[in-house]
Amino acid sequence: MASQPFELVTRASLLRCAYCHETDRGELEICECGSAMHRECRELLGRCTTLGCKTARAPSRDGFSWFGPIAGIALPLVCLALDPIVFRDGAAMTPNRRAIFGEYAVPAYAFMAVEMTALAIALGAQPRSRLLAVLLWAGALFATLLGVVLVPLSIAGIAAGGMGLLGFTPFFTAVAFYRAGRACFRRAPPAPRVHTNKAP
């Protein structure tokens, strides 16, 4: 039986990520070796997928520097210790020297303790958790709202003697929690894809 002739045909294909093999998750970064990867995939893996590639690098530590522990844990603790108006009574600028949110002090302290613990875990263990990211973003939102409420009092405190500067701490805390949450979210593995084999 005579052999059948065959012809090689070139066809175009979409450029896929060398790690997740998806084409619809954003722009791809091309490594020096020619491999294409999403930024989050490269951060998740911590290196290029090509064996022996010289551009391998450690996972990104976005949000995990000195700023996180200082702005997210140390400064809030200092503010709580010196608090004369927000959750503890004694401020001369409030009626009857009552704290603004004194009646919510216990749940607020509990929430802040949970948030600082979550931040410490994120800074230390660097988990791959979207749930932890959402928790950290909740802390960022809480800090932002608290900072907005304290702006008028902070300005008045600066004019009175400088203590009002601590009133702007929640904004720095919000940035620290947001960055840590973003890093946790980026490290979380992508949702598994469901492949359906269909007959042509």
pLDDT tens-digit profile of 34-74?
A: 788 887 777 677 677 787 776 554 444 444 468 889 999 99
For residue range 112-128, what is the model confidence (pLDDT) as tens digits?
999 999 999 988 887 77
Longest dimension (CA), the chain: 106
CB 70 within 8 A of CB 163: no
pTM metric for this prediction: 0.62
* R_g over Cα of the chain: 26
What 3 state SS string does 114-177 have? HHHHHHHHHHHHCCCCHHHHHHHHHHHHHHHHHHHHHHHHHHHHHHHCCHHHHHHHHHHHHHHH
Please, is 182 exposed, middle or buried when counting C-beta atoms within 10 Å of its C-beta (0-12, 13-18, 19+)? Answer: middle
pLDDT at 176 > cutoff 50: yes
**Quick one: tokens of 143?**
């800090």
State how far the Cα of 24 lies from the Cα of 19, in Å rounded to an integer.
13
In this prediction, residue 120 carries a pLDDT of: 92
Percent pLDDT > 90 in the chain is 26
Q: What does DSSP assign to residue 37? A: E
State how far the Cα of 193 lies from the Cα of 23, in Å rounded to an integer.
12
Mean pLDDT: which of 63-67, 97-101, 147-151 is highest?
A: 147-151
If you average pLDDT over every residue of the chain, what do you get? Answer: 77
State how far the Cα of 159 lies from the Cα of 84, in Å rounded to an integer.
16
In this prediction, residue 196 carries a pLDDT of: 40
**Quick one: tokens of 161?**
């003697």
Split at pLDDT 50, 70, 90, the class of 10 is low
Mean pLDDT: which of 47-51, 97-101, 139-143, 167-171 is highest?
A: 139-143
In this prediction, residue 1 carries a pLDDT of: 53
CB 115 within 8 A of CB 136: yes
Percent pLDDT > 70 in the chain is 71
SS3 77: helix
Distances (CA, A) of 128 to 109, 117, 183: 27, 16, 9
**Quick one: tokens of 119?**
């931040």
